[in-house]
Amino acid sequence: MYLRFSWSTGLVLLACLFLQACTKPVPAEEPVRAVKVVTVGLDAMQSGAEYAGEVRSRVESRLGFRVSGKLLRRNVELGQHVKAGELLAQLDPQDFKLAADGARAQLAAAATNRDLALADYKRYKDLREQNFISAAELERRDTALKAAQAQVDQAQAQLAGLGNQTGYANLVADVAGVVTSVDAEPGQVLAAGTPVLRIAQDGGRDVVFAVPEDKVGKLKVGSQVQVQAWAEQKSATASVREVAASADPVTRTFTVKVGLGGPETWPLGSTVTVLPKALDRSGPPVIKLPTSALVHDGEKAAVWVLEKATMTVRLQPIAIATADGNEVVVAQGLEPGMQVVSVGAHVLNPGQKVTIYQPKQAAAAAANVPAAAK
């Protein structure tokens, strides 16, 4: 009797296990996702052509010596501000001094010859007045005196020229400005006119940027542009001062210069963003969404719309018109006032429950409000 009861009990247990193995498991509930949402509204188109520009001096000069020689010293460094009349660099003046000494000796010799010719002329003039010599002889002495005087004038001119060359051995700043380039070092032998320094003159500043050939036709001299600094929160409205007549042979772009205000507000070499108003695409208000809100519904674009009553999401197909910076312009599918998931859209399913994400700091502050009230 005991053995018979054990076998029947085992059969019942096996049947229960078999039935349990054939039963489908209960699916786990989907977790409640935290998402960020944006409220659909109308906004104006703000995008337009943007170009990177550089602040440069309106007048930038390359300075060099007017004579050749060996660079003896350079008194300024890159980025240094110089004043008008300040000594910038100097050539070895020894050769110029020797040449000036030689010209000075030639002048002394020419002056001596002139004095001798003058004394001869005076003697022959007295003899002519007494009719001891002919008039032709006096004319020859007068001609010799004029030739001697011409040699004196020539020697004086040569001495003055060499004196100028001695002065040209000193490179002096013509105007006040900032040294933006150093092209020669002490000990280097330079030919006349070789650039030694580049100076950006104090005064007006320009923003220089390049424009492709399909856009340059819309930029005219005097048209308004918006200039924004990259390094700091600063902007200004300026006007186009110059448009290049020909394209750059390498980049095939046209250089455009925009006039700015004083040098104290726009440092040389700073990078700026240029927004030409002639290329602005502002239009009537449209619906815009961040690109992070987009998902794919087959071959169409869609977004997750929040049903606030049930705190669930549903997939809403939309039509995209164009892009506006980092946002897309929605042509149809949404109405102002709808709430769309902007972050977390890639992990959602239709009908899934969600909560609106709140930063930890905001949540902690909200929790401390009742305690503070007590």
Task: List the chain domain ranges.
Answer: 33-45+283-359, 48-91+169-280, 94-167
Q: 279-301 burial, b if ≥16 CB within 10 A, otherwise e?
A: beeeeeebbbbeebbbeeeeeeb
Distance CA 62, CA 195 (A): 6
Distance CA 50, CA 276 (A): 7
Distance CA 227, CA 273 (A): 6
Exposed (0-12), middle (13-18) or buried (19+): which is 23, by Cβ within 10 Å? exposed
The residue type of 13 is: L
Distance CA 189, CA 278 (A): 51
* Residues paired with residue 91 on neighbouring β-strands, in sequence order: 71
| Residue in the structure block whose two tokens are 């002139």 | 114
Q: Residues 6 or more apart from 9 whose CB is under 8 A from it?
A: none
User: Tell me, which fold does domain 94-167 have in CATH?
Assistant: Helix Hairpins (1.10.287)
CATH number of the domain at 33-45+283-359, out of 3.60.21.10, 2.40.420.20, 3.40.30.10, 3.30.1330.30?
Answer: 2.40.420.20
What tokens does 102 get? 């030689």
Distance CA 104, CA 98 (A): 10
Domain 48-91+169-280 has CATH 3.40.190.170: no
Distance CA 116, CA 145 (A): 8
Distance CA 88, CA 172 (A): 5
pTM as predicted: 0.54
> How do the pLDDT tens digits run along the chain, 374 residues long?
444 445 556 666 666 565 555 555 555 566 788 888 888 888 766 666 788 999 988 888 899 999 999 999 999 999 899 999 999 999 998 888 888 888 889 999 999 999 998 998 888 888 888 888 888 888 888 899 899 999 999 989 988 888 888 888 899 998 899 998 999 999 999 999 999 999 988 888 899 999 998 888 888 898 889 888 887 778 888 889 999 999 999 999 999 999 886 555 788 888 998 988 887 766 678 888 888 888 887 778 899 999 988 889 999 899 988 777 678 888 888 889 899 998 888 888 888 888 888 876 544 555 554 444 44
